[in-house]
Chains A and B, each alone.
Chain A
Amino acid sequence: TVGCVALDSAGNLAAGTSTGGTAKKLPGRVGDSPIVGAGTFADNASCAVSGTGVGEEYIRNAVAYDISAQMLYAGLSLESAVTEVMTERLKPGIGGLICVSHDGQIVMQHNTPGMSCGAADSGGRFETQLVLDN
């Protein structure tokens, strides 16, 4: 799976996810990537989210939307919302998330052995990682 979340200089957020699914999957199996609210979500009022992992768990937990909802309804920060989902809601080894908030905060977390990821911003940040140190 690959994904991208972005905040532009006009203050707009967007998210996208694309995948081939799981290796040797049952033909016809659909994971979370095309399910808006599970693997992908964006709302200018909160954040943009893209996930990667065991898609069925992202669907069951409405992961991407849930992070946005925790920010809007519970007033959590993006980092707190992501941490709650990744450590409390999803079991270890399920996957990872990349997110950017409406104010440009980037949060990337995973509970798998690895997640290839990268981040950049207008402050000069530009980094890629094969193993993210959560």
Chain B
Amino acid sequence: TRWAIAIHGGAGGDPSKWNDEKRSARREGLEAALTIGRDLLAGGGSALDAVEAVIRSMEDNASFNAGRGAVLTKEGNAELDASIMDGRTRACGAIAGVTTIKNPISTARLVMTETKHVLLAGPGADAFAASQNVPLVDPKYFLSRRPGRSNSSTDTGQDPHFG
């Protein structure tokens, strides 16, 4: 096998209990993300670039519990985590508990490449992202109102997402 890729959009919920709209949105999101990764790898792109691009796609899609559409804390906020690791060198980067970073996976990669650290958390991680000029958003951005979203009250009550 010259190249290979696998993706997941989360475990825990029972798809048999989803309505058609949610099933369709989730499947379309998976296919879009996988297509991005396949095309990158088939074109000779790196595994690291493929991983980042695929995850960015799912972070931007409110059907998944990451980025826009993420589930909410007890206080009603989105606190996001992400990590990335390069198998060539075992270099890695991660962020935890961030609230304003549009694409956490890309900032995790910047932690890996632009600092000597592995994990930045909370306001410090948000500040690091700002210093790197990555896209920041109002925390309300994560509170998607799109049908099939992950952070709807229906989902949180009947179809829990796992971390």
Interface residues of chain A, those whose CB is within 8 Å of chain B, are 1-10, 12-36, 39-44, 48, 50, 52-55, 95-96, 98-100, 103-106, 108, 110, 112-123, 126, 128, 130-131
Contacts and interface: CB of A to CB of B under 8 A. Distances in A.
A22 B47 contact: no
Contact of A10 (B46, B67, B75): B46
Given A4-B54, A33-B82, 8 more contacts: A4-B55, A7-B3, A21-B81, A21-B163, A53-B163, A117-B30, A118-B30, A128-B27
B88 interface: yes
A48 B121 CA distance: 24
A1 B10 contact: yes
A20 to B, nearest CB: 2
A15 B85 contact: yes
Interface string B99-113: 000001100100000
A60 B86 CA distance: 23
Given A34-B119, A99-B6, A114-B13, A20 B41 contact: no
Contacts, number: 336
Nearest to A122: B2
B118 interface: yes
A113 B85 contact: no
Interface of B: 1-16, 18, 23, 26-27, 30-31, 33-34, 37-38, 41-42, 44-48, 50-52, 54-55, 58-59, 64-67, 69-75, 77-88, 90, 92, 94-97, 104-105, 108, 118-119, 121, 142, 150-151, 155-156, 160-163
Given A104-B2, A117-B8, A19 B27 contact: no
A25 B66 contact: no
A18 B59 contact: yes
Nearest to A49: B85
Contacts of A19: 10, 65-66, 70, 80-82, 163
